[in-house]
Amino acid sequence: MARSTNAEDYQRIAPPVAAMPKDFPAGHHIPPHRHERGQLVYAVRGVMRVGTAQGTWVVPPQRALWIPPQIEHEIRMGGAVAMRTLYIAPRAARHLPQDCQVIEVSPLLRALVLAAMEGPVDYPRGSRGEAIAKLLLHELRAVPALPLHLPMPQEPRLHAVCNRILQSLGRDAGIESFAAEAGLSSRSLARLFQRETGMGFTAWRQQARLAEALARLSAGRPVALVAAELGYASAAAFTAMFRKSLGTTPGRYFRKV
């Protein structure tokens, strides 16, 4: 079988792991869809935003998103994206997470994904392709998740508040201001945030800012400019938030790419 760029061609083949390379232009949008197989979406270059009914996941360069089988999702490209996808049969995905997760791509995992793209799609038993597939599945079971998920609430008033936050991430306003716009007390809005997202107002907005920061930084925007655009008092304050969330500074994070 030739290497297709049509996802449907990979859903019913015999091998448990199938690899598909595909590049997309900046701004490309893949509308909501689902696959029979689980999907590991890997960003060699560019940033992807993957949305489901449960929220949004940001996938920066050299990170990947695991999407379990039959989860409806859409993908938006931030800049030109070089996507490398693994489609994993449900029987082979039993030991992988049941929810979407962004994961770090280690040098070994990266090498395995790229090697899977080079071999035949219908690799035979006992072949190098089968060995790569088995090692890929083994590695995926042990990879820790990264905090790059932004849960979206279902409650209409809170959903509207979250959309307003996303549309004005640089806005320096507290929960009282957003609560007043929604016709709620700040206490009621705080309770809704915790109940619907599992996060407080401040934590949710910080996560939204972090997700947007990753997209802007990956496009080459300076740290100081991104910090100002997203409402931070200084580049130092932004860097402190970034380090607390991802364990390193923006410069070091993107030097690993």
List, for residues 47-60, the tens digit of each pLDDT value: 899 999 888 998 88
Does residue 240 contact residue 233 with C-beta atoms inside 8 Å? no
Beta strands in the chain, from DSSP E residues, in sequence order? 17-24, 29-33, 38-52, 55-59, 63-67, 73-88, 101-104, 145-146, 149-151
């806005």: which residue's tokens? 171
Q: Where in the chain is the domain with CATH 1.10.10.60?
A: 152-255
Residue 146's pLDDT band (cuts 50, 70, 90): confident
Instruction: Please give the DSSP secondary-structure letter assigned to residue 144.
Output: P
Rg (CA), the chain: 20
With 60 as the cut, is the pLDDT of residue 82 above it? yes
Fold category of 152-255 in CATH:
Arc Repressor Mutant, subunit A (1.10.10)
Q: What's the average model confidence in pLDDT over 156-165?
A: 94
Does residue 161 contact residue 182 with C-beta atoms inside 8 Å? yes
With 90 as the cut, is the pLDDT of residue 165 above it? yes
Q: Where in the chain is the domain with CATH 2.60.120.280?
A: 7-146
Q: What's the average model confidence in pLDDT over 26-42?
A: 95
C-alpha 204/C-alpha 246 separation (Å) is 15
Q: What's the average model confidence in pLDDT over 82-88?
A: 95
What's the predicted TM-score (pTM) here?
Answer: 0.82
Q: Which CATH superfamily is domain 7-146 in?
A: Regulatory protein AraC (2.60.120.280)
Confidence (pLDDT) at 67: 96
